Amino acid sequence: MKAESSNESFKIGQRVHSLNDPRRVGTVKYVGGVEGYSGTWIGVDWDQDGDGKHDGSVNGVFYFNGRSQSSASFVRSQNLSRGITLLQALDLRYRTTSTKDEEDEMYVLSAKNKRVSIQLLGGDKIQDKLSHFEELTSASLSYLGVSSLGVSSDLGSILPNLKQLDLTGNLISDWEEIGALCEQLPALTTLNLSSNSLSNDVTCLPQLKNIRVLVLNNSGMSWTQVEKLRLSLPDIEELHLMGNMISAITSTSSENQAFNSLRLLNLDDNCISEWNEVLKLSQLPCLEQLYLNKNKLSNIVHSVNDNESSKKSSDPFPSLRCLLLGANNLGDLPSIDALNVFPKLVDIRLSDNPITDPVRGGVPRFVLVARLTNVQVLNGSEVRVREKKESEIRYVRMVMSKLNNNSGEIELLHPRFYELKKLHGIEDERASAENTGPKNMASGLISITLKCVGPSMGEKPQLTKKLPGSITVGKLKILCENFFKLKSIKLRLFLHEEGSPFPTPFDDETATLLDVGICDGSTVLVDEES
């Protein structure tokens, strides 16, 4: 199904796609002649860099501004499509039968490398059911070149049970038409408009009371536009805004017009760099999940400023249970401690930040587990009760060994130290080690499992040894050489932590076992230098 392709069909600002490739989508920026070439040309700025050949200038003559050096091109009108309607796309996706060529492409290779055709069991029944639009509850029409929703009074009778509609990567831009579509489909609760270049004008929307999930990823939405959507989405529960280059949360609505039912807000892959912008969302009463992966955050603070915090006595993010902060620029421990102010926060992602990378001055997993009061899931991995307890004990002993009971410095740098020390009944092992009695010496021993993992070490049984927590990493290397008879191999030791995808290296040979967080029951991997 192809739209008309006359020159009059195209106008500046219109969304189009390449006639033979609905995924190659762009915006008309020029209609007219091109010097040195006959006839009328359509200047298109494509959404994807590399889909074009230039930046809107040809042979030194400027025609329009392309987004990049390779996003623009000139195309004959017959090679472009203005798109199809929603109902045409439904026909194309669900009522078109497979051609012989397409069926011939459905095969597997036998042991003798011959094609064996495959047939979908029950395929005819599935196709028959999908072709009855009145039975559809979910429809995916992504990248089909839909430009018009073709809203009519009988659309509700054609799709009476449609609950989920995916229109990703089409040519839709008109919010008024989107609103009319939602009104005509009373059962529709989930709408995906990702990768459509949506109009800035969102003032014509009616009340979309049935929409619970709205996906607007990579659609060019600013937060100003999002604010205008508030009044039209009174019962929205999930809002996805990935990849929209949002850097600021600009409030234009009063608090009683807020997203009071919003439970999930996805702001992944945007440009937010200041935590103060995030705190502007902190009074959303029902927000349980906030996704901020791949932004530019470098630190986390408790409040916007003293004046703001005095105005708002309620807890920030009162319902927040899940906060994803992966792939930002977080590198300081006070930012981690600041997360404890959120009363219900239990699921946290911090991976791909400097703070979680020991090579960039970060800390091992057990330190994060100990400092985060209520964490139950860290970086997608469950924090079990045993890991939580062991991490807190290791953390306390590490602090004791480094700061030598300097109470002022401990309170400043390690806010949970005294709380955890009391919780687990931990004594100062350095002080007790000064007592030379055999009983006290024995109580200072910790049980460590040593496991060889080096490729040239061969298969060696793991060993469990009781060693003083005061010995250094360098001394432990020498002991491993003796235990496993590895005199000719230069060793490197790693701490294997439960729930952590990568072991933590011990690079400071002068640090004690307590300094690096080894405690009773720890596993040390014995590897070789690469």
Provide, for the chain, the percentages of residues in helix, strand and coil under a 3-state DSSP scheme, each rounded to the nearest 5.
30, 20, 50
Structural Rg of the chain based on CA atoms: 31
pLDDT tens digits for 459-470? 899 999 999 988
pLDDT of residue 9: 72
Kindly report the pTM of this predicted structure.
0.80
The listed CATH number (3.90.226.10, 3.40.50.11540, 3.40.50.300, 3.80.10.10) that belongs to domain 84-97+120-251+258-301+316-390:
3.80.10.10
pLDDT tens digits for 219-270? 999 999 999 898 899 999 999 999 999 999 987 455 555 689 999 999 999 9
Are 52 and 70 in contact, with CB atoms under 8 Å apart?
Answer: yes
Boundaries of CATH 2.30.30.190 in the chain? 14-81
Strand 264-266 and strand 238-240: pairing?
Answer: parallel
Query: How many alpha carbons fall within 13 Å on the CB side of residue 468?
Result: 16
pLDDT tens digits for 354-408? 999 877 888 989 999 999 999 999 999 999 998 999 899 889 988 887 776 677 8
Boundaries of CATH 3.80.10.10 in the chain? 84-97+120-251+258-301+316-390
- Could you identify the residue written with the tokens 């899940």? 322
CATH superfamily of 14-81: CAP Gly-rich-like domain (2.30.30.190)
Higher pLDDT, 354 or 4: 354
Tokens, residue 506: 């011990």
Res 442 pLDDT > 50: no
Distance CA(344)–CA(364), nearest Å, equals: 24
Least confident of 34-38, 204-208, 253-257, 448-452: 253-257
pLDDT of residue 127: 47
Closest to 166 (Cα-Cα) out of 186, 123, 136: 136
Res 48 pLDDT > 80: yes
Instruction: Report residue 500's pLDDT band, with 50, 70 and 90 as the boundaries.
Output: confident
pLDDT of residue 255: 52
The average pLDDT across 23-47 equals 93
The average pLDDT across 114-124 equals 56
pLDDT of residue 205: 83
Res 192 pLDDT > 50: yes
Boundaries of CATH 3.10.20.90 in the chain? 445-528
Instruction: Report residue 100's pLDDT band, with 50, 70 and 90 as the boundaries.
Output: low
Distance CA(321)–CA(342), nearest Å, equals: 9
Would you state the CATH architecture of domain 445-528? Roll (3.10)
Tokens, residue 119: 């047939």
DSSP classification of residue 455: T
The average pLDDT across 182-191 equals 93
HEC sequence for 98-164? CCHHHHHCCEEECCCCCEEECCCCCHHHHHHHHCCHHHCCEEECCCCCEEECCCCCCHHHHCCCCCE
Res 301 pLDDT > 50: yes
Q: Residue 310 is inside which H or E element, if any?
A: helix 306-311
pLDDT of residue 253: 52
The average pLDDT across 60-83 equals 93
Least confident of 189-198, 232-241, 246-255, 301-310: 301-310
pLDDT of residue 222: 93
Query: How many alpha carbons fall within 13 Å on the CB side of residue 437?
Result: 6
